[in-house]
Amino acid sequence: MCPDSDVPALRGIEPVLFPQSSARARHAPEARFVRNAWYVAMAACDLVKGKLAHRTIMNEPIAFYRKEDGGIAAITDRCPHRSVPLSMGTLLSGDRVQCIYHGLEFGPDGRCLKNPHGNNKIFTGLHLSSYPAVEKHALIWIWMGQKAADPATIPDYACLVDRPPSHVTRVGYLHVKAHYLLLVDNLLDLSHTSYTHAGVLGNADTATADPLIVQNGDVVTATRDSPDAETPGILLMMAPRGFFDRGDQWQSISWFPAGNLRLEFGASRVGEPKAKGTGYTAVHFLTPETERTTHYHYAAARWNVLTDDKRNQELRDLIYKMRTFAFSQQDVPVIEAQQASIDQAGGMVAPNLLSIDAGPTRYEKVLNRLLAEEN
């Protein structure tokens, strides 16, 4: 456990994201992709046995499919003959992918296994790349880097599979027209819930809570406590009527490099222990598609459920709908407009930091070190 926590923790820390002084940073789109990390490609239920699925990740087209032994294959989704996406093709027995255009066949390691034309020769240029990919916690994960991929380093998202199904929402997906780090900034500074999500996820009572920042290895956690605060709508509906119109509320969000977050969100009756309250573990996965687009997956799993089973299934779907509304109708328009504003300025204008920026500032330091190590 890293002992250094600092509140408000801004002294001596310089803004480091897209520095204004660098002409290059102002005019070139910054990738800032950490490759040696696990990213969520899709929900496991979206990868159907016997079918090919496409995702572009870090500008690379990738075809995913389930192998006959139950493993996951991820290979370049661009045929080396004439660039047709292999995900348009057919999955044959023996884990082979056949191109829809002229029938070249490839294995799960990307190697070309059959050229049905001419002398049938298979030359080096016909081989493709493959990527380590696994299924874990009801998600499909991919590793884009050169270092050895260890599935044991996938962050703990067991909450998606170890709680009763009626307590866990389905995995939602949004395609966001913004750099993935703008979404990390948004999530690691949850003061925005008081404004962007007023009444739904936060309110004026929670606006003044400054974050406590703790770094544990490369994991950064920002915690905000709001004692005796008005309970926001999403928590109100998760408790029996009259349980807590006001409560001691908290948000504690952790960032796992480079695009994965886990939030503990809840409230208890004023003065009562947290464990007697209720709330949910919220998971957020931000996977860079390009320098200007992001795959955003999310879900939530309730803890200390205080409502009866008849109501829980209905609540699960309501929680999903409210969070989808909050992200798609409240966060995403703001973040996409922020991206457009940054692009209009020719690059990120160095922010004038506030106390609420302690979380984003801390993770950027870790991110910059990881990027420097890779380069």
Q: Is the dihedral of CA 224, 227, 230, 234 positive or negative?
A: positive
Complex with ligand FES: residue 82 or 276, whichever CB lies closer: 82
Asked if 194 and 207 count as a contact pair (C-beta separation under 8 A), the reply is yes
Question: Which one of 100-108, 157-165, 172-180, 250-258 is the stretch in contact with ligand FES (CB under 6 A)?
Answer: 100-108
Among ligand FES, Fe ion, none, what binds residue 331 when CB lies within 5 to 8 Å by partner kind? Fe ion
Asked if 180 and 144 count as a contact pair (C-beta separation under 8 A), the reply is no
- DSSP bridge pairs for 73: 65
Distances in Å between the alpha carbon of 153 and those of 39, 61, 179, 252, 274? 11, 24, 24, 21, 29
**What is the C-alpha to C-alpha distance for residues 298 and 293, in angstroms, rounded to an integer?**
16
Amino acid residing at 219 = V
Among ligand FES, Fe ion, none, what binds residue 350 when CB lies within 5 to 8 Å by partner kind? none
Tally the C-alpha atoms within 13 A of residue 239's C-alpha that lie toward its C-beta: 22
Complex with ligand FES: residue 81 or 177, whichever CB lies closer: 81
Residue 269 CB neighbours (<10 A): 16
303 is a contact residue toward ligand FES (CB under 6 A): no
Residue 153 CB neighbours (<10 A): 11
# residues near ligand FES by CB under 6 A: 9
**What is the C-alpha to C-alpha distance for residues 300 and 258, in angstroms, rounded to an integer?**
20
Q: Binding marks (x or -) toward Fe ion, 309..348, rule CB under 5 A?
A: ----------------------x-----------------
Minimum CB–partner distance for residue 282 and Fe ion (Å): 10
200 is a contact residue toward ligand FES (CB under 6 A): no
Among Fe ion, ligand FES, none, what binds residue 104 when CB lies within 5 to 8 Å by partner kind? ligand FES
**What is the C-alpha to C-alpha distance for residues 165 and 219, in angstroms, rounded to an integer?**
28
Complex with ligand FES: residue 103 or 233, whichever CB lies closer: 103
Complex with ligand FES: residue 104 or 168, whichever CB lies closer: 104
Q: What is the largest CA-CA distance in the chain?
A: 79
Complex with ligand FES: residue 106 or 157, whichever CB lies closer: 106
Among ligand FES, Fe ion, none, what binds residue 173 when CB lies within 5 to 8 Å by partner kind? none
Residue 45 CB neighbours (<10 A): 11
- DSSP bridge pairs for 97: 91, 106
104 is a contact residue toward ligand FES (CB under 6 A): yes
Question: Which one of 25-33, 96-104, 156-164, 338-346 is the stretch in contact with ligand FES (CB under 6 A)?
Answer: 96-104
99 is a contact residue toward ligand FES (CB under 6 A): yes
Nearest to 218 by CA among 38, 369, 3: 369
Minimum CB–partner distance for residue 101 and ligand FES (Å): 4
Minimum CB–partner distance for residue 81 and ligand FES (Å): 3
Complex with ligand FES: residue 89 or 360, whichever CB lies closer: 89
Among ligand FES, Fe ion, none, what binds residue 82 when CB lies within 5 to 8 Å by partner kind? ligand FES
Residue 241, Cβ density class (10 Å: 0-12 exposed, 13-18 middle, ≥19 buried)? exposed
31 is a contact residue toward ligand FES (CB under 6 A): no
Q: Binding marks (x or -) toward ligand FES, 45..84, rule CB under 6 A?
A: ----------------------------------x-xx-x
213 is a contact residue toward ligand FES (CB under 6 A): no
Angle at 263 between CA 29 and CA 200, to 5 degrees: 90
Asked if 266 and 279 count as a contact pair (C-beta separation under 8 A), the reply is yes
101 is a contact residue toward ligand FES (CB under 6 A): yes
DSSP class per residue in 29-48: -------SSEEEEEEGGGS-
Complex with ligand FES: residue 99 or 222, whichever CB lies closer: 99
Query: Which residues make up the interface to Fe ion (CB under 5 A)?
Result: 331
Query: Which residues make up the interface to ligand FES (CB under 6 A)?
Result: 79, 81-82, 84, 99, 101-104
